[in-house]
């Protein structure tokens, strides 16, 4: 889901073809890099299903692209979590 000014702005989905043998954290890191190489707007907070091992390096790179700090976070299970 994408948020603009604090409200949900829609959803986007991707199909990932796993050509390489990557574990889930590596796949998340690879996907985030690919996505934000193509995107001009980087949000201040990026939610991921699992933090990659190099989350601090990835957040720093995203921060450079954004021009400000970026936090990578795993959403916590709340009342609407299934």
| Distance separating alpha carbons of residues 9 and 71, to the nearest angstrom | 20
Q: What is the pLDDT of residues 22-54, one digit of tens each?
A: 888 998 998 899 889 988 889 999 999 999 999
pTM summary value: 0.72
How far is it, in rounded angstroms, from Cα 9 to Cα 31?
21
Bridge partner list, 3? 8
| Total residues found in the chain within this entry | 82
Structure-block tokens of residue 30 = 């690879």
């Amino acid at each position: 889901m994408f948020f603009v000014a604090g409200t949900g702005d829609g959803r986007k989905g991707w199909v990932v073809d796993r050509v390489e043998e990557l574990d889930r954290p590596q796949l998340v890191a690879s996907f985030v890099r690919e996505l934000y190489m193509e995107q001009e707007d980087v949000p201040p907070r990026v939610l991921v299903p699992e933090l990659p091992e190099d989350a601090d390096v990835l957040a720093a790179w995203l921060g450079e692209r954004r021009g400000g700090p970026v936090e990578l976070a795993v959403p916590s299970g709340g009342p609407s979590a299934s």
